[in-house]
Amino acid sequence: MTKSVDPAMHTAEHLLNQTMVRMFGCGRCFSAHIEKKKSKCDYRFDCPLKDGEIEQIEAAVNEKIAENLPVTESYESRQSARKTFDLDRLPDEAGDRIRIVSVGDYDACPCIGPHAAFTGKIGRFRITTTDFKDGVLRIRFKLENVRQRG
């Protein structure tokens, strides 16, 4: 999953993933590397992003940050969670009681990492670079003007 997880960046990953799902129908990232200074997500995609799409993604994520959505958790049995969520990226050590992290009513997914308590605490989302190769779109991003972490 990740080497060094930062709560603000991990929350930003959730917002980016749901934005990509809603804008492009591509599914959540299949690979991610989330760190405090910069992070990346890889998506199965059929082409590079077009002019203006980077700005649209940033605007959508920053809108959700500005809404100061609460980040909450709930638990489901693995069997129940499997009916709603893709559990492929969840490590076996997650056990039979699966933690579902929700970002307001915008996103919900199984997750074992730490998160900010509210989106308004994570700062401004900015895509630094993107590239596309062999059906994989890589989005690198960072957070600017990060407020209090947690």
Question: Which domains are delineated in the chain?
Answer: 7-144 (3.30.980.10)
pLDDT surpassing 50 at residue 3:
no
The band of 89, judged by pLDDT with boundaries at 50, 70 and 90, is confident
Q: Is residue 148 predicted with pLDDT exceeding 70?
A: no
Q: How confident is the model at residue 4, as a pLDDT?
A: 54
Asked if 93 and 6 count as a contact pair (C-beta separation under 8 A), the reply is no
50-77: average pLDDT: 97
Q: What is the pLDDT of residue 94?
A: 79
pLDDT for the residue 88:
83
What's the average model confidence in pLDDT over 51-65?
Answer: 97
Provide the whole-model pTM.
0.91
- Please check whether residue 28 is in contact with residue 101, taking contact to mean a CB–CB distance below 8 angstroms: no
Write out pLDDT tens, residues 90-147: 877 778 899 999 999 999 999 888 999 999 999 999 999 999 999 999 999 999 986 5
Report the pLDDT averaged over residues 52-72: 98
Mean pLDDT throughout 42-58?
Answer: 97
Instruction: Please say if the pLDDT value at position 149 is more than 70.
Output: no
